[in-house]
Structure 1
Amino acid sequence: METTPAPALSGFSSLATIDLGAIRYNVAELRRRAGSADLMAVVKADAYGHGLVPAARAALAGGASWLGVAQLTEALELRRAGVTAPLLTWLYVPGADLGAALAADIDVAVTGLWTLREVEAAARECGLPARIHLKVDTGLARGGAWGAEWEELMPAVAALAAEHVVQVVGIFSHFAYADAPQHPTVRAQQERFEGAIAELTRVGITPQLRHLANSAATLTNPSAHYDLVRPGIAMYGHSPVPDLGSSADFGLREAMRLTARLAHVKDAPADQGVSYGHTYRTTAETTVGLVPMGYSDGVPRNASNVGPVSIGGERFTIAGRVCMDQFVVDLGRGTSARPGDEVVLFGVGADGEPTAQDWAAATDTISYELVTRVGARVARTWIGGEA
């Protein structure tokens, strides 16, 4: 069968195209919504799969004044790439090279007594004051100090601050129900957060920055903006609260377009089982197309028989089980599809393409997972800015 090359995909069986202009645009929109608060662009997990360094630069160009990452290795990678913006890392284990963080002018989170002692040791060894952000657990029951540990942590921090071993730059926490802004825990966590700020004041600590709002709170809860907001998924163009509004409703543009090329197209008879276990059977004579992406590339296995794709502007659904390297689409009779044609897994909703949120709804997950799980075999390209 004659092939139809797709120039943008030439040489690649699958491709993630990241629009840095969309990231800049989204950050500018989030910065506008944040009012007087500054914005920390969260670029953890390889910028949610969009490329750590190019996405960070795009976010800064869009108006972010801070960058945030989970792990220290991510922060150090940004510094090695020449990114000099204020930068916070908040997730590490005992023995982490905090001295390297301090030497690279990276702010670190203090989430409990053991982290404070590790930060203190690094600061004394380096001879540099550690810039820290205290994390108080206000009800998520994940990272951060609460209860007796918080009570013990505050005077210990105050003593080290008086010695100029640490500089308390910020206090922060994280919502459990930010995607449900009317949930009673939201207000309760804000009250606990404000209480912790008052407690710090009483021991002589006045943080420069108070930050609590993630993407959902940035978009839906101005009372939680404080001095700094920390959007993640929204800066990549996805709604963190799809029940309340789509990306378009919030003025956001999807930044990642995930595509593949048909590897094979062939006729199939009626009542033919397709893929492993024959969980899909053709209902009439038809044509099937083979897409060379599978769960090793980030296509969820539970997208079997439900994952949406677009070929030639027409919507289809995965036929049968998603395999490690491939899946099948029932193209119907009379299709003009040929090997090499572009298959859009998810892209820009405003252009009529399936979106990561469409995939999330089909597979009972969230858009965050879909964009971050795109595998290493998928080629990446960046458009609309410095890559």
Structure 2
Amino acid sequence: MHSDFFQELKNRGLVYQVTDEEALEKQLNEESVKLYIGFDPTADSLHIGHLLPILTLRRFQQNGHVPIALVGGGTGMIGDPSFKDAERQLNTLDTVKNWSESIKNQLSGIIDFENKENPAIVANNYTWLSELSMIDFLRDIGKNFTINYMMSKESVKRRIETGISYTEFAYQLLQAYDFQQLYERYGCLLQLGGSDQWGNITSGIELIRREKGVQAFGITMPLITKADGTKFGKTEGNAVWLDPEKTSPYEFYQFWINTDDRDAVKFLKYFTFLSLAEISEIEAEFAKAPEQRLAQKRLAEEVVTIVHGKEAYQQAVRISEALFSGDVKNLAAEEIQQAFKDVPSYQVKGEDDLNLVEILITAGIENSKRQAREDITNGAIYLNGERIQDTAYTLSDADKLAGGYTVVRRGKKKYFVLEF
């Protein structure tokens, strides 16, 4: 055990609230503790909002503790009311089962389930919640909680005005029961969660105290806020997913490299395993020359490598440099697909005229021949990064990158892809 591990968590800004700090710190310093975080399957992939909890589990594991990733196959069918403004859509059992499986696969890329010393454990609360009868639930769990206690939780209070169903109201009891089950099955003594989970976590500690006479603990992590006031984890309004099919490694890299200067050092502490001493050095360099974006570069490198691996990181850098310099000729097919995932593309058909003026109109890049000729003559049209100023130019195989793509740029920023 690492004697100042808990202090390090605090120095990184990862501890927002904690129950009985002194006793917990002693426990963490003296023995290997089993701890858990719950992941409710509300989609087929985890997103960037889950990254801090996952990386925190890994931190505990690196320090000799045993992380339990609890997939909420049971609770995922109900939905946590915590700080949600409206009732959740209920999902079918099959959907939640499939989602639970893909979540486990994603977690295994970051947390070590194979390691000999202290392998992580994955559990699914569907195992015990699906067997719980209503009578048992009311007798064994419900009797431990007064309505006043449940109503005093911030997550419930916020919804009383607008309405909360009994289903969601009872959610905190199911989460409390999860904690008790993980204690009984694995000896789990600590639950971690986001700051919105405080009410659910303390309910679990209360249940274990009453039923088992044992002291369990809870830690919440801060809700991540951005200096510019926008919500963390969204880019252009879309969620940033950990699944490379949903958010490509290049887009994922772009998300981190574009971190606000005011957030970059804080995020290095949250999301990377660089030592605090090294982060201080980066901070000093970064303060001297913020325009070199050293903090963002290290942040992007570390996080993309953790989530997608070294190769995907190097690929993302190659794509970024190619787009920045306009020299896209050396990109592989997969890199072209990642780089231009969101730009308009046109499937070139066999009968299409490949004269440059004609294809610009067919593909919808220009809306008139006059405009097309004018743009070409003025040097505003680039094929694969090369400026073409000849209106008689005809596309040939030499213009096809990676066997079937031509990247057209109009002006400084407007990209289009022709696919053959």
Q: TM-score, normalised by structure 2?
A: 0.30
Q: Which has the higher contact order (CA 8 A, sep 6+)?
A: 1
Select the structure that is richer in helix: 2
